[in-house]
Structure 1
């Protein structure tokens, strides 16, 4: 959500920020609506003063036993106009809020120009892809050959973009999630949190999923939404609160199921489990002061990178360009892991700083001492996507006979198992 005061003060700068995202100028439309809203409020206040004055005169006339008919008619006209404004004010407030609520965040100055993912900037690369003595297979080939990845069974149960994992691959996915949680809580200072998978409209609005991205979500028949990521409930835990500055930053993590309709992705990644309606992810969320958020963004991204390094998975850090940065984000780093079956890097984590954009939508604030409250900054990141980590482990640790070596850091979670074979 954008601050209307800042738009009033620097409309040209606001439009220039939108232009970086390829959005036409909106400040004139917003300020005209704001002026109507302010004029309605000013007129309402004038009428209330007039009503009070007329009421006083009516009282004086009655005490003097004078004719008050004209004054009473005037008072009736004023009350009718006030009643109209009583409805018009909230309508204009809602219209302005709805207009601002559909506009994406302005970008950080460090975000490079560009239209799409082809213009993203490689910030660093870690690890070297393994040289295979054989042609590496994709994860779905490996999983089906092992009899532990069942796409046909999942389709029978739920349709496309679902997977049934079995036996040791099911345990490997669980091991990955537990490993990530343990690492983030014991080494990176995040508090483990269990959150609802169903949330209300206000919660989805607070982090920016509603109203713009409703088609990307799954809704229930009782007015709730399945979460697309644990970012949504974790961040909204501070909605409406004023947190003492001494308690910041707050750092939370959750391992949860996530649900996405994948609207508009028809034909993309149809094979395997890269793009699913249901998947598991370890989410990282930080709530900070404005002064802390830039450093916290780097810290969060390093926490996600540490997972991939501990698993010895080659990856690269990408700084997303203007055209590829998400709706709520001011700046985003994507981590892309190497998947040898496809011979390319694929996104496995996205770490974003939204500044005060989500906080304004949620009215989430902090206070220093007895000072005036200000909006917190919110950050979120994948630490990491568990399903995609499973894919990366399977493909990078595959052997020529179709077996998969279990990474050493995961063996304690696998009962000491060193290899997964048919």
Structure 2
């Protein structure tokens, strides 16, 4: 959420930053509501002062036996009381309106984010690995002979509908191994603290990490008001909601492996085959809570954590920085990692690592007390996939496929598979 004081002080800069996202100016609308709210607050304070003064004079008029003045003052006190109540209610309504407006405005891009309209304007930073040259026509993950026995979309559709999958045998074993490998790497090599969190959260948690109010249709809500998390970014980030931390507690670095749930409301017709875009999936998430001064360095560090997972698995990838027109709602700056999928003959997103500044912290009222003293400041928050387990499974299967329909698995997974190294053409683990 945005700081209304910063908008008041420099509305032109606010509008210019939104313009970089391709959005129209919004400061005048926001400030009009803010001015109406402040005017009613001032009027209520003025009425309160008049009521207080009249209240003091009531007793004096009665003691002096001046009944006419006594009745006039009593009527004035009652009038001001009603006026204060009405003005306070109006101010509260304007405050709700202002907060809702601020909650629906996206974060402002960091100055070094490249200008652009859409994904065509994203900038590639680097590549790692060389896509394997195959002497046969590579298949997509769900077409590979050895994978098909363990990837059942028909049964999933019978159980739940489209964009679900039932995994069995060797395929689910690799899926589970990937999640364990990611967690172990983040914990032992990257210094993240493993955390287990609920997948059902209160509404305020979804507001805290900017899923609400703007993106309600993209998530699932239960009949009793809980929301299913679209990612454990929601729970990990909200662990500091309402807190005032000490600076020496920062950075806080967390990782969690959870189920995630997304309605994919805005992706109709995209990636409808296979398991690239599912309503239910698993992800190993990374979240960092930092000071403002260290946030950008932490962003680079988190990006390297995600890249390291792909490198250990031997999966070619590229790292890009998203342009202003392609960034997510809550991000100041985002790095996407795109893994090579030979079945599609292209790179596809497997991780998105974002620094959010104090945008989420303001929503959550999450602050820290500077070591040198002074008023508490808002923390800065970061989040990133480390990685999306299902998409990583897809990449492992497609990059390891052989001409006979078998799949060679990355050496990094062998210890997690009891020494097994491949999926045979008939779907067995060998």
Aligning the two structures, in what range does the TM-score lie when normalised by the shorter sequence? Answer: over 0.9
Q: Over residues 368-408 of structure 1, what are the superposed CA-to-partner deviations in whole Å (9 max), with x where a residue is unaligned?
A: 24421000000000001000000000000111111111211
**CA shift digits 1:121-155 (9 cap, x unpaired):** 11001000000011111101116754110000100
> Would you say the 8 A contact 1:162–1:276 is kept in 2?
yes
The residue number in structure 2 matching 1:10 is 10
Match of 2:192 among 190, 193, 216: 190
Higher mean alpha-carbon deviation, 57-66 vs 177-186, is at 57-66
Residue of structure 2 equivalent to 1:206: 208
Alpha-carbon RMSD across the aligned residues, in angstroms, is 0.9
Is 1:232 matched with 2:228? Answer: no
Corresponding residue to 2:383 among 380, 384, 392: 380
Q: Does structure 2 conserve the Cα–Cα contact (< 8 Å) formed by 1:143 and 1:149?
A: no
Whole-Å separation in 1 of the counterparts to 2:156 and 2:46: 65
Q: Partners of 2:231 and 2:351 in 1: how far apart?
A: 12
Give distance in 1, aligned partners of 2:27 and 2:147: 58
Q: TM-score, normalised by structure 2?
A: 0.97
C-alpha displacement of 1:86: 2.4
Name which of 401, 410, 413 aligns with 2:413: 410
Return the match for 1:300 from 284, 290, 302.
302
Kept after mapping to 1: 8 A contact 2:340/2:347: yes
- Alignment correspondent of 1:102: 104
What residue in structure 2 maps to residue 130 of structure 1? Answer: 132
**Equivalent-residue separation in structure 1 for 2:366 and 2:266 (angstroms):** 32
**1:39 positional shift:** 1.2
Partner of 2:173: 171
Match of 1:367 among 366, 369, 372: 369
User: Within 2, Cα distance between the matches of 1:101 and 1:144?
Assistant: 48
Q: Structure 2 stretches of 5 or more lacking a match?
A: none
Deviations 1:32-73 (A, max 9, x none): 111111111111111111111101111101111211111111
- 1:264 Cα offset (Å): 2.4
What SS does the aligned partner of 2:177 have? helix
Aligned equivalents of 1:86 and 1:33: distance in 2? 15
The normalised TM-score by structure 1 is 0.99
Partner residue, 2:402: 399
Query: Is the 1:257–1:278 Cα contact (8 Å) retained in structure 2?
Result: yes
Residue by residue over 1:207-259, the C-alpha shift from the partner in whole angstroms, topping out at 9 and shown as x without a partner, is 00000000100111111111000000100010110010001000000000100
1:43 aligns with 2:46: no
Q: Helix, strand or coil: the match of 1:147?
A: helix
- 2:84 aligns to what? 82
Q: Distance in 2 between matches of 1:8 and 1:266?
A: 39
Q: Are 2:255 and 2:285, in contact at CA under 8 Å, matched by a contact in 1?
A: yes
Q: Secondary structure of 1:177's match? A: helix
Deviates more, 1:388-397 or 1:141-150: 141-150
Structure 2 equivalent of residue 357 of structure 1: 359
Any conservation in 2 of the 1:235–1:285 contact (CA below 8 Å)?
yes
After TM superposition, the structure 1 stretch with the greater mean CA deviation from structure 2, 60-69 or 317-326, is 60-69
Q: Is the 8 A contact 2:146 2:407 kept in 1?
A: no
Q: Which of the numbers 336, 339, 349 marks the counterpart of 1:337? A: 339
8 Å Cα contact 1:146/1:402 also seen in 2: no
Greater displacement, 364-373 / 253-262: 364-373
CA distance in 2, matches of 1:333, 1:405: 29
Runs of at least 5 residues in structure 1 that lack an aligned partner in the other structure: none
**Residue 161 of structure 1 aligns to a residue in which SS?**
coil
Contact 1:144–1:150 (8 Å) recurs in 2 = no
1:326 aligns with 2:332: no
DSSP-derived class of the 2:144 partner: helix
What CA deviation, in whole Å up to 9, does each residue of 1:279-303 have, x standing for no partner? 1000000000000101000000000
Residues 266-323 of structure 1 show CA distances to partners (whole Å, capped at 9, x for unaligned) of 2111110000001100000000000010100000000000000000000000100111
Instruction: Answer yes or no: is the 8 Å Cα contact 1:172–1:414 preserved in 2.
Output: yes
Which of 275, 279, 282 is the equivalent residue of 2:281?
279
Write the distance in 2 (CA, Å) between the matches of 1:265 and 1:2.
28
Q: Deviations over 1:69-103 (max 9, x none)?
A: 11111111111101102211211111110000000
1:25 shift after superposition: 0.8
